[in-house]
Chain A
Amino acid sequence: MAQQTWENYRQNKHFKPSPLKGIRVLEICTIILGPAGPGFLGALGAEVIKCELPPRGDTMRQMTPFGYFFRGQSPPMMHSNTDKYWLGLDLHKQEGQRIFRELAAKSDIVEDNFRPGVLERWGVGYRQLKEINPHIVYIAKTGFGQWGQYAEENRPSNDGAAQALSGYAWMSSFLGQPPLKSRLYVCDTFGALMGEVAVLAALHYRSRTGKGQYIELSQSENIMRAMSWVWPYQQITGKGAMPAGNRDVSICPADTFRCADDTFVAIAAPAPNEFRGLCAAMDRPELAEDPRFKDHMTRLEEENATAILKIIAAWVRTKKPEEIEELAENYGFAASRVYDSKDVVEDAHFRERGFITDIDDPFVGPFTEYEFPVMMSKSTPKVKWSLRAVGFDNEYIMKRILGKSEDEIKELYRCGALGKWADVQGCQPPPEWDGKAGVIIARD
Chain B
Amino acid sequence: MEQQSWPDWVRERDDPQIAHTKPEALGDITVLDLSSKNFAGCLCSSLLAEFGAEVLRIEPPEGDFLRTCTPYGILYKGEGLNYLTEGRNKFHITLDLSKPEGREIFKGLVAHADVLIETYRPGTMDEWGIGYEQLKEINPRLIFASITGYGQFGPMSQSRMPDYDNMAQARSGIQSATGAMLPENKSYNECPWAVPTKAGPWIAWSAAGTFIAVGILAALYWRGITGEGQALDVASAEAYARFDDYAALWYQGAGVVSERFGSLDLAGWLYCFAPTKDGAVFLGGLRLEMWQAFADMLGKWDEWGAAKWTSISPFTQKEEQLKWAPLMFEETQKYTNEELVRMSIEYAKKGRLAPITPVVAPVCSPEEAMKDANWLDRGIFTPVQDPVYGELIVAQAQHKMTESPIRTKWVCRPVGYDNEHIYLKYLGWGPSKLKELKQKGII
Known contacts A79-B246, A300-B73, A349-B150; A240 and B85 CB within 8 A of each other: no
- Determine the residue in chain B with the shortest Cβ distance to A337: B170
- Whether B231 and A377, one on each chain, are in contact in the complex, defined by CB atoms closer than 8 angstroms, is yes
A sample of 19 more A-B contacts (CB under 8 A), given A148-B374, A195-B399, A241-B71, is A2-B231, A19-B219, A22-B225, A65-B267, A66-B267, A167-B364, A168-B200, A173-B193, A181-B262, A181-B263, A204-B220, A246-B195, A256-B175, A258-B195, A265-B170, A296-B65, A345-B251, A374-B233, A379-B222
A405 on the B face (CB < 8 A): no
B35 on the A face (CB < 8 A): no
Residue in contact with B6 in the complex, picked from A116, A160, A190, A370, CB distance below 8 Å = A116
Known contacts A180-B178, A338-B175; A205 and B200 CB within 8 A of each other: no
Return A47 CB to nearest CB of chain B, in Å: 14
- Whether A183 and B71, one on each chain, are in contact in the complex, defined by CB atoms closer than 8 angstroms, is no
- Determine the residue in chain A with the shortest Cβ distance to B71: A249
Q: Say whether chain A's binding surface is mostly helix, strand, loop, or mixed.
A: mixed
Number of interface residues of B (CB under 8 A): 188
Q: Give the distance in Å from the alpha carbon of A367 to the alpha carbon of B254 in the complex.
A: 12
Count A-B contacts at CB 8 Å. 616
B 144-174 binary contact with A (CB < 8 Å = 1; else 0): 0000011111111101111111110111111
A362 on the B face (CB < 8 A): no
- Whether A336 and B244, one on each chain, are in contact in the complex, defined by CB atoms closer than 8 angstroms, is no
Known contacts A345-B252, A378-B230; A229 and B81 CB within 8 A of each other: yes
- Whether A63 and B51, one on each chain, are in contact in the complex, defined by CB atoms closer than 8 angstroms, is no
For B243, list chain A residues within 8 Å (CB).
184-186, 189-190
Within 8 A of B (CB), among A368-399: 368-379, 381
- Whether B206 and A207, one on each chain, are in contact in the complex, defined by CB atoms closer than 8 angstroms, is no
- Whether B6 and A167, one on each chain, are in contact in the complex, defined by CB atoms closer than 8 angstroms, is no
For B166, list chain A residues within 8 Å (CB).
246, 248, 251, 254-256, 266, 268
For B261, list chain A residues within 8 Å (CB).
183
Within 8 A of A (CB), among B203-234: 203, 206-207, 210-215, 217-222, 224-226, 228, 230-234
Number of interface residues of A (CB under 8 A): 185
Return B435 CB to nearest CB of chain A, in Å: 30
Within 8 A of B (CB), among A315-340: 328-329, 332-340
Within 8 A of B (CB), among A12-43: 17, 19-23, 32, 40
Residue in contact with A174 in the complex, picked from B197, B220, B362, CB distance below 8 Å = B197
- Whether A300 and B72, one on each chain, are in contact in the complex, defined by CB atoms closer than 8 angstroms, is yes
A270 on the B face (CB < 8 A): yes
B 184-209 binary contact with A (CB < 8 Å = 1; else 0): 00001000110111111111001100
Stretch at the interface among B104-112, B301-309, B401-409: B401-409
Known contacts A218-B378, A336-B170; A19 and B221 CB within 8 A of each other: yes
A222 on the B face (CB < 8 A): yes
Q: Give the distance in Å from the alpha carbon of A197 to the alpha carbon of B68 in the complex.
A: 28
A 256-279 binary contact with B (CB < 8 Å = 1; else 0): 101000101110101100100000
